[in-house]
Structure 1
Amino acid sequence: MQGEFRGDFTRDTYDKSKHFLRVLMQQGRVQLDADFNEQTSILLNRLQTLAKDIFGLQGGPEHNCGFEFIATEEQINNINHLNDEEKLKLKQLLQSQSYLISKGNYYVDGILCENEEFVSYFQQPDFQPELIDPCQVQLKGATYLAYLDVWERHITPIEDYDDRKINIREVALGGADTATRSKLVWQVKLKQLKEDKDIETVAKQVTKDRDYFYSLLGQELIKPGEGKIIARVTKPSSTGTNNPCVIPFNSKFRGTENHLYRAEIFTVPTVNNNNKLSFVWSRENSSIVFPIVTSTESNSSAIALTLEHLGKDKDCSLSVGDWLEIVDDDYVLGNSDRQLLKVEQVDRIQNQVILSGDAKNKTLLPEKHPLLRRWDSKEVKVNLSEVNHKWFPLEDGIEIQFQADTQNNSYQVGDYWLIPVRTATGNVEWPKLKNKEGKLEPQSQPPHGIAHYYAPLAVISGNPNNVTLYDCRRKIGSQNNNITPVSNKDNNPIAANSPENPTLPIPQKELTAQTIIEFNRVINASWHHDQVLEVTIAELQENSSNIPEEKLFKFKSQDLRNLFTKLGLVIQFEKPVLIDSLHRSSVSVLAHTDNVLKGEVFYILPMKVEPVQVKKTEIKSIRWAVGNEILNSNINLITEVETLTNENTKYTEAVRLITPDDWLQKAVFNQSNIYQFTILLHGDWILNEEPLFDNANLNLLGDLNKGIIPDELRQQFQDKGISLSQNLILVAEKENFKWRLVDGGKIYILQIQNNKLTSSKIQALDGNNIWPGVPERFSGNGSEGGDWVSIIHINPLL
């Protein structure tokens, strides 16, 4: 359990470090709630870990990626699955509400967040930003980070009551309590940024660097906090009584029942209350609550409440002097300032109580599920600057200590710790370690919850009538890990990355199709994968070896001759690749034949590899093999190219594979039984080099030769949105001239050019993208690449 769980549980036994796979029930044994809850936690952890390992820390499916922060009409125009009428309605909603959140799914730390409908930012199902948002959701020329905050809320039959739906309480039981629920809460929030960097740089870095994203959120927003506590039970010197119902003094815990204590942070240090916080505690995990029916204010310092009931027994009831907290949906979901009220009077006939304290004149609405939560203590004040080795008593010998150095750590309102106490042992269940003397000592523990998970959605600048927005979501399937620029409401173009020049603006008409993708990939060719070319061999004699070599291809189709001898096998890349990386070892064509004696035999064809520029594409009618069927399709293919002859050209957007002039002399073309050609690209050899920055300070070379990245270079990488890890490897390929930097799966080249140290990113071809229209299978990480394979089928006509 890591959410806001306040139920009447025995304890939480889930421990990830034990690597338990399942809970096994035995016949005739006692069934505990903790066993069932642990089984759920084991399964949930495995499912969420699987999703996180596959999808990453955040991301949404490409076909249904939700939670786009919509601030412009152009974003609505770019939503493909909506018709014109639906887009018009969304634009009208946008004009009245300023900002929308798109429907769809998104994963945050492996947790699936679902939004079933387009909703206004102001009308989120579990959040009311206009009540508490510090930036008041008006951009006013500043820069804001839109992010997703995800956490689990505990739901009892009180919070679930709704006349319009089927509720979790079984009415046939006459009001008896049963199981509760955990609800996933997602909230889209805005945080004003004070970064001096331009919005595009911030968006790139937020998208790629989780630590940088968390630094922008700030410690005051990240939950739970980092503060820790220790819990123990101490022995009394004597019982002071002969009462046989009191646990004897040789036992530490003096209570008469087992309990699950909860210590919870109630207030935290503020600017005017430095190093001071408070906590409250409950012996029943704060699960004792009383639904509120009506409320009337008696005077400025007291409030009268009518309750649905006063508890099932004296231990779960209310008495004068008890401490209570008024809670409703807004109070929980809005992270409101907390107040404790004291019980002054109890009317057990009318189920009424009068409370003293500051209730802040809050209106309690039935649809907000108001209730009173009982605590078994008042606020206990803690001064973090004086907390060293100080123990704070709860009751019956139970004590907690805030970690001695916690003044350097943070606590958050709502951080809580669960402390199971058992009469059988007279002690608390708390993790321990042996000290140097071999004695077991309790260890400091982080909060049990409430665990929040965060993901960046967008970086926004401007005002509601002229917005510049960068989408920071990650789309699973497209491998789109980068930002997507979006225009403003006036349809003016905005600065964005261009494949040719990162500083050039992309015209508005190109924004709808522009996608900045981490991987290089094949985007078109002069044939289609699984295309079928027909050849006529009716004139062939039984012994094909008697056919003169110069006549062999006369029996082949004109399309096949053009593909190998005139146009060539042309392959176009999304990003220009280094010409030097295209050669016979990285690009090859195989011819497959059937041989009665040898079975399948393939030959490597002697193709020339030429860099070209695509001049023309056309819609061509082709035959296409799909499984065992051959279908006719209209496909956009490359039909005209121009050879690149400039010797200074370093990159090419396309490559042509064409037979050399002496191709007829090759023995392979004497085979009449060729049934298939395979075109193969070794993606890890075909490279794209993306320039990042340069540095005129050549005094850095000494550190580079020693395998050390100077802080100056590390900061330049950081300014480009690239956070280098501490485990990188730096190798000098040529001393004082060229270095290779490997950081995880990413590769960077540092090189001296024009008396400057230049830095470039190396990316390989992601080979497993077979073809547009064919299901994509991604591989590699943008550096390792993979093989790209495409097939041409030969269909003989007898």
Structure 2
Amino acid sequence: MKGDFSRDTFDPRNHYTRVLMQQGRVHLDADFNEQSAIAMHAQRLLARDLIGPEGGPRDNAGFAVITDPAAVKALGKKLVPGDFLIGAGRYYVNGAMCQNPAALLYSEQPGYPFDAATTTDILADLPGYTIYLDVWERHISAVEGPGLLEPALGGPDTATRAQLTWQVRVLPGGAADGGGGVADHFARAVPLLAARAEPPATNNDPCSVDPAARYRGLENQLYRVEIHAPGPAGGPGQGATFKWSRDNGSVTLPLAGSPAVDAASNTTTVTLATLGRDTDLGLVVGGWVELVDDNSTLRHVAAPLLRVHSIDRDEFAVVLEGQADPESGLDPRLHPYLRRWDHGGDAAAGGAVAVVESPAGQPLWQDLEDGVQVCFPVADGGSPASYRTGDYWLIPARTVTGDVEWPRDDGAAALNPQPLPPRGEEHAYAGLAGVGSGPAGAPGQVVTELRKFFAPLAV
């Protein structure tokens, strides 16, 4: 969740049942957000305990895979080779209720095509594949959901939303007689990160805070470290990369027109609706941004990182070094915007910072800023970790303590910080149908139902 939050305090290991507000006390965003997280966690655990990992109500199970042309035509749709219809209804995945209000074609889903290997043209020639449901939560700000703004207040930014998002996707080569392996297909060695704040060897800057402080920033920040390019760690110039933001990636600037890409000069020019609320929450020459919209977000792709070359503050025009994705930012209905990042990336390496894993017992700390450092230890068991685009960690930094908030062994500041898995983005998967060849000599393909169903408790 890339919101302007003070911190994220929910931890299921605390076993808290609710947040109790007290009179005459300061109200914090973290308290309200933790209350909703507690309630959602309990609700989804209950649903999972009762239903299991996945299942749909017998009388209204959704996400049926329909390939019969007559049935599709009766619903006002037309099939082309490789396409299929997704039935309306509800289906629960890992306790989360997914709703499809109306039948739609696979190719009509927002964000389609998801990748070059699963277009309808490719599926038409595949001998077999598994159709599955991918479920996750997406953060929606006022940039992506303008209806969140209250016109009576003159349009100031207020609260954001978490949206349960799903996609029906295809796993090429999947067997038609089983879907339980969908989640196993995405299993991986989960990456880890540790964070700390360390004092510099010398600090004689009179404008900084106490030189003995480990975190030397002048403001409280919520650092976000997010994986950009996926893959294993490979060191500088290869493998996974990361980017970071001191504001949890919450600084977004909507576009007011289509971007203009100049291949000859390798630049992209954009006109923005705003340059930010102030200089601290705006763009700076030399800083890094990415141009994204709803489609690129739904595709989970790492958008090209672009460096700010110049800013025309009268015309709200910004020239960026590098070429944006040619498909991003062209449709205003997809809410295109720039997201600001604060790392000092290398243009030769695509703008992001290389993930360098530490050998066991030999932490390799990488500097962010103002004493904040991160380390990527080897994954549990020593297996090479698989980093995914969107994996992220949050690091609250506080001026009053001169330190970052990060769990340490026995809570002692002198001991090593604990390596933690990413906070998200968490995906859950469920098999819907298997598609494969029928008996020898039989024409066409056979669709095997993989959904599970449950009946009402009271009948």
Q: Give the TM-score of the pair, scaled to structure 2.
A: 0.89
Give 1:155-194 correspondences, 5 Å limit: 155-161=140-146, 167-193=147-173
- Taking a change above 3 Å as real, the CA distance of residues 280 and 407 of structure 1, as seen in their structure-2 partners, is farther
Contact kept in structure 2, 1:97 and 1:122, CA below 8 Å = no
Q: CA deviation at 1:365?
A: 1.3
Q: Say whether residues 1:447 and 2:422 are aligned partners.
A: yes
Alignment match, 1:408: 384
Match of 1:29 among 19, 25, 30: 25
Alignment match, 1:357: 322
CA deviation profile, 1:537-557 (whole Å, cap 9, x unmatched):
xxxxxxxxxxxxxxxxxxxxx
CA deviation profile, 1:368-408 (whole Å, cap 9, x unmatched):
10000000012111344879521110000000000135662
CA deviation profile, 1:56-80 (whole Å, cap 9, x unmatched):
1100100000001112358x4xxxx
The DSSP-based 3-state class of the residue aligned with 1:408 is coil
- Taking a change above 3 Å as real, the CA distance of residues 260 and 385 of structure 1, as seen in their structure-2 partners, is closer
Question: Aligned partner of 2:112: which letter?
Answer: Q
Alignment match, 2:253: 290
Contact kept in structure 2, 1:71 and 1:467, CA below 8 Å = no
Alignment match, 2:244: 281
Alignment match, 1:227: 191
Match of 1:43 among 24, 28, 39: 39
Match of 1:342 among 304, 307, 313: 307
Give 1:75-86 correspondences, 5 Å limit: 76=71
Alignment match, 1:395: 369
Alignment match, 2:349: none
Report the Cα distance in structure 2 between the residues aligned to 1:426 and 1:59, rounded to whole angstroms.
49
Q: Say whether residues 1:98 and 2:83 are aligned partners.
A: yes
Q: CA deviation at 1:94?
A: 3.8
Contact kept in structure 2, 1:50 and 1:110, CA below 8 Å = yes
Q: CA deviation at 1:438?
A: 10
The DSSP-based 3-state class of the residue aligned with 2:166 is strand
Question: Aligned partner of 2:314: which letter?
Answer: I
Contact kept in structure 2, 1:259 and 1:420, CA below 8 Å = yes
Contact kept in structure 2, 1:385 and 1:407, CA below 8 Å = no
- Taking a change above 3 Å as real, the CA distance of residues 89 and 180 of structure 1, as seen in their structure-2 partners, is same
Q: CA deviation at 1:159?
A: 0.7
The DSSP-based 3-state class of the residue aligned with 2:34 is helix
Alignment match, 1:564: none
CA deviation profile, 1:620-671 (whole Å, cap 9, x unmatched):
xxxxxxxxxxxxxxxxxxxxxxxxxxxxxxxxxxxxxxxxxxxxxxxxxxxx
- Report which of the two has the higher share of strand: 1
Question: Aligned partner of 1:415: which letter?
Answer: D
The DSSP-based 3-state class of the residue aligned with 1:267 is coil
Report the Cα distance in structure 2 between the residues aligned to 1:441 and 1:320, rounded to whole angstroms.
37
Q: CA deviation at 1:133?
A: 4.7
The higher radius of gyration belongs to: 1
- Taking a change above 3 Å as real, the CA distance of residues 95 and 316 of structure 1, as seen in their structure-2 partners, is closer
Report the Cα distance in structure 2 between the residues aligned to 1:411 and 1:54, rounded to whole angstroms.
33
Report the Cα distance in structure 2 between the residues aligned to 1:266 and 1:286, rounded to whole angstroms.
13
Report the Cα distance in structure 1 between the residues aligned to 2:413 and 2:82, rounded to whole angstroms.
64
Alignment match, 2:125: 140
Question: Aligned partner of 1:446: which letter?
Answer: P
Report the Cα distance in structure 2 between the residues aligned to 1:176 and 1:92, rounded to whole angstroms.
42
Give 1:249-648 correspondences, 5 Å limit: 249-269=211-231, 276-294=239-257, 295-300=259-264, 301-362=266-327, 364-377=330-343, 378=345, 379-384=352-357, 389-405=363-379, 408-434=384-410, 440-462=415-437, 466-477=444-455
Contact kept in structure 2, 1:148 and 1:455, CA below 8 Å = yes
The DSSP-based 3-state class of the residue aligned with 2:256 is strand
Report the Cα distance in structure 2 between the residues aligned to 1:399 and 1:319, rounded to whole angstroms.
23
Report the Cα distance in structure 1 between the residues aligned to 2:423 and 2:260, rounded to whole angstroms.
36
Compare 313-322 and 376-385 and name the one that shifted more.
376-385
- Taking a change above 3 Å as real, the CA distance of residues 54 and 264 of structure 1, as seen in their structure-2 partners, is same
Alignment match, 1:758: none
The DSSP-based 3-state class of the residue aligned with 2:75 is helix
CA deviation profile, 1:575-631 (whole Å, cap 9, x unmatched):
xxxxxxxxxxxxxxxxxxxxxxxxxxxxxxxxxxxxxxxxxxxxxxxxxxxxxxxxx
Q: CA deviation at 1:344?
A: 0.7
Question: Aligned partner of 1:473: which letter?
Answer: R
Structure 1, unpaired ranges of 5+: 77-86, 162-166, 480-774, 777-798
- Taking a change above 3 Å as real, the CA distance of residues 92 and 43 of structure 1, as seen in their structure-2 partners, is closer
Give 1:188-227 correspondences, 5 Å limit: 188-193=168-173, 199-200=176-177, 203=178, 206=179, 210=180, 212-215=181-184, 217-219=185-187, 226-227=190-191
**Percent of aligned positions that are identical:** 38
Alignment match, 2:209: 247
Contact kept in structure 2, 1:277 and 1:384, CA below 8 Å = no
Report the Cα distance in structure 2 between the residues aligned to 1:283 and 1:65, rounded to whole angstroms.
44
Contact kept in structure 2, 1:149 and 1:186, CA below 8 Å = yes
- Taking a change above 3 Å as real, the CA distance of residues 287 and 153 of structure 1, as seen in their structure-2 partners, is same
The DSSP-based 3-state class of the residue aligned with 1:184 is strand
Alignment match, 1:687: none
Q: CA deviation at 1:150?
A: 0.3
Structure 2, unpaired ranges of 5+: 346-351
The DSSP-based 3-state class of the residue aligned with 2:271 is strand
Contact kept in structure 2, 1:239 and 1:248, CA below 8 Å = no
Q: CA deviation at 1:337?
A: 3.7
Q: Give the TM-score of the pair, scaled to structure 1.
A: 0.52
Contact kept in structure 2, 1:276 and 1:384, CA below 8 Å = no
Runs of 4 or more, structure 1, over 6 Å off, are 270-275
How many residues get paired?
A: 440
- Taking a change above 3 Å as real, the CA distance of residues 368 and 160 of structure 1, as seen in their structure-2 partners, is same
CA deviation profile, 1:291-326 (whole Å, cap 9, x unmatched):
011122344410111101111111011121111100
Report the Cα distance in structure 1 between the residues aligned to 2:327 and 2:102, rounded to whole angstroms.
31
- Taking a change above 3 Å as real, the CA distance of residues 330 and 127 of structure 1, as seen in their structure-2 partners, is closer
CA deviation profile, 1:454-480 (whole Å, cap 9, x unmatched):
1111111149x712011110111189x
Q: CA deviation at 1:176?
A: 1.0
Alignment match, 1:511: none
